[in-house]
Amino acid sequence: MQFHQLAYFVAVAETRHFTRAAERMRVAQPSLSQQVRALERAVGAELFHRIRGNLSLTEAGETLLPFARRILADAESAQQAVRELDELGRGRVRLGATPSLCTGLLPALLAEFRSAYPGIELTLHESGSRDLQTDLSEGALDLAIVVDSRPHERSGLAARPLLVEELVVISAKDRPAPVRRARMRIADLADKPLVMFRRGYDLRDVTVHACRDEGFEPSFAIEGGEMDAVLEFVQAGMGIAVVPGTVVRDRFRVTRFAEPGLSRVVRLAYRQDVEPSRAVRALRDAVTRHFARAATLPRGTQSLVKAGDPATPTGG
């Protein structure tokens, strides 16, 4: 099994086409096909179903694909680490984060990091926490900032708690407050139209589960949005939304929940089985410092979770 064979296999798996894969890899199609066949002989199983021009992964191919991606990513990380042995003037870090964090806490962090390390190439991938952990375990990311997600056992990941974010209710300033009291209960959401995030969004799961725990299904004024869309719909007066306090701006009316309220834990996830490059370590340290500072801001919507605690063990 050779690196270029794995790279050809991944290209074919992603394009579902030998010719397009050959174009991507800049090799002749017969040569690519020959190397994929050689890989199949090496692993002792066919990796693709080749039926009348239709190409799909076999069970063996589906099993090999995440390992192949991870091996290739690790090889690239190793090369990068060797290139940056003695300096942080160059390097690359692939960071994943949830959309709400990209809207709230992340911009200031990345601006500060970019100013300190202008030579480091920073790539940001925005997705849900579960997808980010999958990408991290497959080697597509170096770090991921996730919410309320502890690594699955055998995933090879660890997660360090950074911050607890309080969740609040936002509504348009030109509309009546959702309740007359200073704070509202989860049960008060029962008759309120909610602007709801798309399926698979962490905040959607938290809100819906909280409502079900109170014995009712929430009603949606509109659903399916990302963070920016949800904020715009609320400002337009379409309904209210449950969001982290860190994304709230002065343009909204903010109502906090009565104790114990709703909150979520923000965690920094990373792989335990890979030695991080200096660039990755630099960003990891910057994330920890930035979130520790964020927890001390007088916003009334955040509290620190033992900054500097050791990583949460996998499956814990």
222-279: pLDDT as tens digits = 998 888 899 999 999 999 999 988 788 788 999 999 998 888 889 999 998 888 888 8
202 assigned to some structural domain: yes
Is-cis flag, bond preceding 260, omega within 30? yes
User: 233-264 burial by CB neighbour count: b if 16+ within 10 A, else e?
Assistant: bbbeebbbbbbbbbbbeeebbbbbbeeeebbb
Instruction: Judge whether 128 and 98 are in contact, CB under 8 Å.
Output: yes
Alpha helices, DSSP H, located in 153-277:
202-213, 227-235
Q: Name the β-bridge partners of 238.
A: none
Residue 244 lies in a domain: yes
pLDDT of residue 74: 86
Number of structural domains the chain divides into = 3
Q: Which domain holds residue 111?
A: 80-162+265-304
Residue 145 phi, psi dihedral angles, 5° rounding: -100, 110
Same domain, 257 and 186: yes
With a CB cutoff of 8 Å and minimum separation 6, the contacts of 217 are: 211
pLDDT of residue 305: 32
Residue 309 lies in a domain: no
pLDDT at site 149: 54
Evaluate whether 87 touches 72 at the Cβ level (below 8 Å).
no
Q: Say what the pLDDT of residue 34 is.
A: 93
Please tell me the distance from the alpha carbon of residue 161 to that of residue 306, in angstroms, as a whole number: 8
Residues 214, 156: one domain?
no
Cα dihedral sign for 94, 163, 88, 121?
A: positive
| DSSP codes, 9-50 | HHHHHHHT-HHHHHHHHTS-HHHHHHHHHHHHHHHTS--EEE
* Best CA proximity match to 288, nearest among 84, 114, 105: 105
What pTM value is reported for the model?
Answer: 0.64
Question: Do residue 158 and residue 190 come from a single domain?
Answer: no
Q: Are residues 15 and 104 in the same domain?
A: no
**172 φ, ψ (degrees, to nearest 5):** -70, 140
- Taking Cα atoms as reference points, which of 260, 128, 123, 253 lies closest to residue 197? 128
- 246 and 170 fall within a common domain: yes
Q: Which one is predicted more confidently, 205 or 312?
A: 205
Scanning 227-270, the segments in alpha helix (DSSP H) are 227-235
Element (H, E) at 102: helix 99-103
Over the stretch 33-90, which tens digit does the pLDDT of each residue have?
999 999 999 999 999 998 877 889 999 999 999 999 999 988 887 777 676 555 566 6
**What is the average pLDDT across 279-295?**
88
115-166, pLDDT tens digit by residue?
Answer: 988 888 899 999 888 889 989 988 899 999 998 755 555 468 888 899 888 8
Tell me, what's the pLDDT at 303?
39
Domain with residue 24: its CATH number is: 1.10.10.10
Percent of the chain's residues with pLDDT above 70? 87
DSSP state letter for 166: E
Residues 163, 295 contacting (CB under 8 angstroms): yes
Same domain, 173 and 251: yes
Q: What is the pLDDT of residue 83?
A: 65
